[in-house]
Amino acid sequence: MRLKKEKARSLFRIFMELSKPNILSLVLVVTFLGYYLGNMGIGSIEILLYTLIGTAMTAAGSGTLNHYLERESDGYMARTQNRPLPAKLISPYVALIYGILMTIGGSILLLLKVNMLTGFLALLTAFLYALVYTPLKKITWLNTSIGSIPGALPIIGGWTAARGEINAMAWVLFGIMYLWQHPHFYAIAWICKDDYKKANYKMLPVIDPNGDRTMRQIFWHLLLMIPISLLPVIIGSMGIIYLLGVTIITSAFLFSAIPLAKNHTVKNALLLLKASVFYLPALLIIIIIDINI
């Protein structure tokens, strides 16, 4: 009995790792953000739960499909060689079936329990992430910009779960998320550029060893975030609390990149990465406060 329990726990950990829990948690945060803004509050708890469960399933499925497609490349990189598939902890066939079932199951759940548009967006996100962004990593450095599209869609999915439609505010949220991902993922790519080179990924820091192009990409996306993040105030969806809060956190995000621009060290890239991770939950808190005051 004890061996069975340990085996079950081991399988649970494997499937959790295949589901990419770090990305999954980020997806759920931005989905909740879109839903909360769409309702200007919590709204229906039932719809919110179905939205988060369905989104989590499709995100876990697409993350698993990414593991499946990159299983050989992961074996070349120190940070990924111990993942379940390169470490041969689970059959690629089992991972593939799990990924497909979770992706389709989550999309169907959203379609049946939330609305058709939200289900479609979840399926589109999984398709773009697994079957467009993933192979592009070996083809062009533009994979980050293209991959930021499925990365930004969950916030619209949260909005459509609440509203059933896409309007101007939804596109503003998409724009903030789209721009945010560039400094976030370029920081990761700079830290892991040697690993990416081993796997033959065409990440920008790999083909830009001195870092000049990478720094330009980081800064112009950060600079664009400032006017885009202010648009909710201009269109009347947010108030003074949001204006003050988003100005502070977006400026702090921008300033966090300055040390990396001056000195392209891993330590400075980590500073930018930490600032990017702080930004989204801070934005969520600011929005909740603004709506409720």
Q: How confident is the model at residue 78, as a pLDDT?
A: 86
Domains defined for the chain, CATH in brackets: 7-164 (1.10.357.140), 167-293 (1.20.120)
> Six-digit token pair at 238?
């947010």
Residue 79's pLDDT band (boundaries 50, 70, 90)? confident
Q: Output the average pLDDT for the chain.
A: 93
Q: How confident is the model at residue 164, as a pLDDT?
A: 94
Q: Do residues 54 and 104 touch, judged by C-beta distance below 8 A?
A: no
HSE of 131, CA atoms in CB hemisphere, 13 A:
9
Angle of helix 2-18 relative to helix 92-113, nearest 10 degrees, comes to 70
Quote the CA–CA distance of 156 and 118 in Å, as a whole number. Answer: 8
Mean pLDDT of the region 19-30: 93
Cα 127 to the center of its chain, rounded Å: 14
Quote the CA–CA distance of 150 and 121 in Å, as a whole number. Answer: 9
Q: How confident is the model at residue 4, as a pLDDT?
A: 46
Q: How confident is the model at residue 5, as a pLDDT?
A: 42
pLDDT digits over 119-142, tens only? 999 999 999 999 999 999 999 999
> Six-digit token pair at 164?
């059933």
> Six-digit token pair at 204?
């920008």
Q: How confident is the model at residue 12, as a pLDDT?
A: 86
Quote the CA–CA distance of 164 and 277 in Å, as a whole number. Answer: 29
SS (H, E, C) the chain: CHHHHHHHHHHHHHHHHHCCHHHHHHHHHHHHHHHHHHHCCCCCHHHHHHHHHHHHHHHHHHHHHHHHHCHHHHCCCCCCCCCCCCCCCCCHHHHHHHHHHHHHHHHHHHHHHCCHHHHHHHHHHHHHHHHHHHHHCCCCCCHHHHHHHHHHHHHHHHHHHHHCCCCHHHHHHHHHHHHHHHHHHHHHHHHCHHHHHHCCCCCHHHHCCCCHHHHHHHHHHHHHHHHHHHHHHHCCCCCHHHHHHHHHHHHHHHHCCHHHHHCCCHHHHHHHHHHHHHHHHHHHHHHHHHHHC
Residue 282's pLDDT band (boundaries 50, 70, 90)? very high
pTM: 0.91
Q: How confident is the model at residue 2, as a pLDDT?
A: 45
Residue 8's pLDDT band (boundaries 50, 70, 90)? very low
> Using only C-alpha atoms, what is the Rg of the chain?
19
pLDDT digits over 176-214, tens only? 999 999 999 999 999 999 999 998 999 999 999 899 999
Q: How confident is the model at residue 284, as a pLDDT?
A: 87
Quote the CA–CA distance of 248 and 162 in Å, as a whole number. Answer: 28
pLDDT digits over 215-236, tens only? 999 999 999 999 999 999 999 8
**Residues whose CB falls within 8 Å of the CB of residue 186, separated by 6 or more in sequence, listed in order:** 144, 204, 205, 214, 217, 218
Q: How confident is the model at residue 11, as a pLDDT?
A: 86
